[in-house]
Amino acid sequence: MSVNPDLRRLDIDIPAQPDALVRLSLLLADEELNLTAAAELIEADMALAAAVLKAVNSSLYGLKGRVQTVHQAVTYLGMREVAAVTFEMGLRAAFPPAPELEPLWRRAALRGLVMGRLAQRLGLDAWAAHSAGLFEECGKAVLFRHARDHYRAMLRAAQHDGDLVTLEHAGFGVSHDALGAALCESWGLGAAAVASVRQHVLAQAGGPLPDDADKRAISALSVVAHGLMTDSANADEETARVAAEAGLAGDALLRIGRQVHEQLGEAARHGR
């Protein structure tokens, strides 16, 4: 998809999707996904495959034994999570390494897993949810690459993303949520993931979810994941609000969200 012309006029570069992810996206779009072909595609890029295996073998995934190949990772985790890890590694590689971005990437990995597994348990589009969680803050990486010193000062000054958006608009004429959505569009992510990334700051601050029903559900998961990951005192209230707006069962949404978050946290703490 093309990037909004208004964003192009701002002269802020949005990195192109790596070729390997373009080909993987085409495979994932096929109704009869060829798992072997997908795994071989990832393994053909040695650097990408190594990064994927390193991530899959981290404590976050809690696998009992060490995975040696992408094929094994697909067997243990399923194609969705392996594809999501591949996109995560491709996304990280699109930006220069920086200590300021490391917390962003860690949050992205955890948020993607929470949203993807929550969606799977609720019968929603798990790939849309996982990719939405993974890409939610990617606009910050775009702005950091565009003006490292200026944006570093903004990150330090902002108390929360609402403050940050205000600073971004004043300094750049655009905010990270809009840039993140543009990157999602240019990388071919689905409409629900794009809408969730575009709306996440507003939705997490108590604002409305997207208008479309499918998009509302994924955006609601973003709000729930945010509340769980920040240990928000308003998590129960916010979950009830977005569940009602998205037509989801609030009790089940909060219960399953807590279960998934606790399971991932337990695996990370004990390195299983």
**pLDDT tens readout for residues 72-101:** 998 888 888 999 999 999 999 999 999 999
3-state secondary structure of 249: coil
Please report the sign of the dihedral spanned by the C-alpha atoms of residue 52, residue 55, residue 61, residue 63: positive
Tokens representing 40 are 């071989």
Share of the chain above pLDDT 70, in %: 94
pLDDT at 32: 83
Mean pLDDT: which of 5-19, 162-176, 230-244 is highest?
162-176
Based on the fold, state whether residues 110 and 165 are members of the same structural domain: yes
Based on the fold, state whether residues 130 and 142 are members of the same structural domain: yes
Encoded amino acid at 163, one letter: D
Based on the fold, state whether residues 128 and 255 are members of the same structural domain: yes
Tokens representing 202 are 């507003």
pLDDT at 1 over 90: no
Q: Tally Cβ neighbours within 10 Å of residue 189.
A: 24
Task: Read off the DSSP letter of residue 98.
Answer: -
Number of domains making up the chain: 2
Let me know: does 80 contact 116? Beta carbons within 8 Å.
yes
Based on the fold, state whether residues 248 and 204 are members of the same structural domain: yes
Q: From 75, 97, 83, select the one nearest 128 (Cα to Cα).
A: 83
pLDDT at 59 over 90: no
Domain that holds residue 85: 19-93
Mean pLDDT: which of 13-17, 195-199, 246-250, 257-261 is highest?
195-199
Alpha-carbon gap, residue 141 to 14, rounded angstroms? 10
- Per-residue pLDDT, averaged over 159-180, amounts to 95
Based on the fold, state whether residues 112 and 191 are members of the same structural domain: yes
Longest dimension (CA), the chain: 50
pLDDT at 154: 96
Tokens representing 171 are 């300094």
pTM of structure = 0.90
Return phi, psi of residue 208, to 5°: -75, 160
Let me know: does 108 contact 225? Beta carbons within 8 Å.
no
Based on the fold, state whether residues 172 and 118 are members of the same structural domain: yes
Q: From 57, 52, 61, select the one nearest 84 (Cα to Cα).
A: 52
Which of 67, 93, 119 terminates a domain? The answer is 93
Alpha-carbon gap, residue 214 to 206, rounded angstroms? 19
Based on the fold, state whether residues 114 and 247 are members of the same structural domain: yes
Q: Which residue has the higher pLDDT, 171 or 30?
A: 171
3-state secondary structure of 87: helix
Alpha-carbon gap, residue 41 to 135, rounded angstroms? 22
Alpha-carbon gap, residue 132 to 134, rounded angstroms? 5
Based on the fold, state whether residues 33 and 143 are members of the same structural domain: no
Which of 49, 71, 93 terminates a domain? The answer is 93
Based on the fold, state whether residues 87 and 212 are members of the same structural domain: no
Task: Dump pLDDT digits (tens) for 101-138.
Answer: 999 999 999 999 999 999 999 999 999 999 999 999 99
